[in-house]
Chains A and B, each alone.
Chain A
Amino acid sequence: MEKAIVFKNIKKSYGSVQAVNGINLTIYQGEFFGLLGPNGAGKSTLINMLAGIVKSTSGSIKAMGFDVEKNYQEARHSLGIVPQELVFDPFFNVREMLRFQAGYFGKGRENYDWIDEVLERLDLTEKAFTNMRQLSGGMKRRALIAQALAHRPPIIVLDEPTAGVDVELRQRLWAFMKDLNQSGHTIVLTTHYLEEAENLCKRVAMVNRGKLVALDDTKKLIRKNSSKNLNIKIDSKDEQKVLKILKNFQVFIENEILTITLDKLDELNDIIVLLKKNKIKFFDIQTTEPDLEKVFLQITKK
């Protein structure tokens, strides 16, 4: 597989603060990739270094084979970056902004149909002639996404694109991104909505305190790092007894709900047998599936 983005031992420090500390990461062409991490983990610094807005202290970054500092023109041609902050130019309307943005990349009239398509897909057609100042927060966010797509870049980087955005736009945006991904575009996404990353990204990387702490296929990462939970509602008078019976398991009780972490599914049967043998009455039983959020919390807490 051809490489889309390569971060090679990239570091960034602000005085004594090490925002990014030696990250090595390769994202391949055609991937839908998730970059996750808590606030202040270094995700945006990483993206800003890729975009050329922030200069790295050491290491190198390549986009479509071009170094983002030495061959910045070629590298930036291949990147469409949606910044996290809701910024806009108050002098112009939506269509003008998109045409300007494409124009900076040397695109002219031949690109107008694409701009109209982007407007349509992001439900902005009716607002095409509205001044940026007059748009609502959600609409401004759409315009910001549209601006990043205006020059039709092969790599699209979305830094928290759905923060403060309604459900309808989120769904529209993801449908559009999936289509773009299917037509060969590489999509890199940072989001706080881990459910989105789980549903959309085939591979995810987790960043914490400037370091890469996990990188894997999303499903594998969940399987490797999280276990299924078994929740059983019991009588409160049995709580202490149950803790003794299940002393070999990871058990937690709260409000008469017994939560047991299952390392293997076979353990489910053993637990039921043990409880029945000791005449513990239970009123409800359910298992919960592991998700990226649990993995995220587990990894970032380490």
Chain B
Amino acid sequence: MINWKIQLKGTWTLLKKELLRFWRVVFQTVAAPVITGILYLLIFSHVLDSRTEVYTGVPYSAFLIPGLIMMSLLQNAFANSSSSLVQSKVMGNIVFILLTPLTYIQFFIAFLIASIVRGLFVGLAIYVLASFYIDLPIMYPGFVFSFALLGGGLLGTFGILAGIWADRFDQMAAFQNFVIMPLSFLSGVFYSIHSLPPFWQKISHFNPFFYMIDGFRYGFFGQSDISPHLSVVIVLTFFIILAGLSIRLLKTGYKLRG
């Protein structure tokens, strides 16, 4: 049995490497999505602020910001684990991790935490910059933090799965463009699902991104399309299922060990 100090050091080293990996290209991994989020905010709020009020007493710009923060957080949590894995596989340097005594659990934890950290960085930066534009107090910090953490964790795990599955960059791009982007754009970032026709409202309930954004928004305004407690349960369930699946794949070495 390898002692716990060695195991902890191993996990920390992989986490540190994953954190440094995205920090080395911080303009691409943090600054770029923050700028994109702020541009969305400026354009949409300028066009729609005077015409739309989704929640009573909440201006459209304020309604939009939590959605944008969460969307960017989720997309970047996904991008972190998926791009790191697919790059390592394509370049062959995944072997440096496969040769080590790190267990599949250590591997999962390190990639998961790094994804959450990058997601939180991006989300926090958008929140700080948006605060200069509009006053945005947080009503329930516990919900904001829980959904940020759970959302980052869920998409980080989703990224691990995609990274394990994809063998090429174009497969990963397809995953990002045909799965992640539509799910995040059609989740109520820019609108309340109550403004949709009944059929699309029903469809939205199958989208896990909807629960993460709706619950996160509840933390700011105390208003949401569905109960935030139900959202926590649904997001947590999705996380447990995907985490179980990725741990299983890592354990069997699917597409990683021949």
Chain A residues within CB distance 8 Å of chain B:
48, 51-55, 72-74, 76-77, 79, 81, 83, 85, 87-92, 96-97, 100-101, 103-108, 147
Contact = CB atoms under 8 A, between A and B. Distances in A.
Interface size class for chain B? 20 to 34
A10 to B, nearest CB: 14
B142 interface: no
B102 interface: yes
A104 B258 contact: no
A54 B257 contact: yes
Contact of B101 (A89, A97, A105): A105
Contact of B258 (A53, A83, A90, A106): A53
B2 A48 contact: no
B209 to A, nearest CB: 30
Interface stretch (B3-11, B170-178, B196-204): B3-11
Residue among A77, A85, A90, A103 with the highest chain B CB neighbour number at 10 A: A103
12 contacts: A48-B258, A52-B257, A53-B258, A72-B101, A73-B101, A77-B101, A89-B88, A92-B20, A100-B17, A100-B96, A101-B96, A103-B12
B9 A106 contact: yes
DSSP majority for the B interface? helix
B12 to A, nearest CB: 7
B85 to A, nearest CB: 13
B92 A103 contact: no
Given A53-B98, A54-B257, A101-B96, A106 B5 contact: yes
A108 B100 contact: no
A268 B101 CA distance: 58
Contacts of B20: 91-92, 96
B12 A77 contact: no
Nearest to B252: A55
B2 A73 contact: yes
Given A52-B257, A54-B257, A55-B253, 4 more contacts: A48-B258, A101-B100, A106-B6, A107-B9
B110 to A, nearest CB: 10
